[in-house]
A = this chain, B = another copy of it.
Amino acid sequence: MKMPPAIMETALYCEDLEKAKQFYCDVLGLEIIAEGEGRHVFFMLEGSVLLIFNPQVTDKPSPAARFPVPHHGAKGPGHACFRADGEALDAWRKRLQDAGVEIEEEITWANGARSLYFRDPAGNSLEFGEGRLWNI
């Protein structure tokens, strides 16, 4: 067993999955790898997967489901950060701006690492941040 383990799946919640698909595909350029109509849409990241769930569906047990996945489903804005170093951060800023996505905040941390913040259609706080923030 590897310690610490790596993240394999990060979950966020969006009630309107069509808007989520449009945003994560068209704006962030992610590829859909699995989809359950009205329930979830999953996107491939580098080395892990971003799960977007409709919490109205996933927050209760679903005994009729093919697999007995435990229920979960948070309400209100979550948070996730994607890694982008140096010029990549600037390229993502331009891509977001070109798509009309508001950059909510930009922060230069005490160690010089930079972060930029924006929101998905459900209001989740997303970030592109430089790996040196955490010595990654």
Contacts and interface: CB of A to CB of B under 8 A. Distances in A.
Interface of A: 1-11, 13, 28-31, 33, 43-51, 53, 55, 59, 67-84, 87-88, 91-92, 95, 104-105, 107, 109, 117, 119, 124-125, 127-129, 131, 133-134, 136
A43 B3 CA distance: 12
Contacts of A55: 76
Can you tell how many copies of this chain the complex includes? 2
A6 B48 contact: yes
Given A70-B117, A117-B70, A44 B4 contact: yes
A58 to B, nearest CB: 8
6 contacts: A4-B31, A6-B47, A10-B80, A70-B117, A74-B75, A75-B75
Contact of A72 (B4, B43, B78): B78
Contact of A79 (B4, B31, B72, B124): B72
- Among the interface residues A1, A51, A80, A127, which one has the most CB atoms of the partner chain B within 10 A? A1
Given A4-B29, A44-B4, A69-B107, A9 B81 contact: yes
A136 B48 contact: yes
Contacts of A46: 2, 4-6
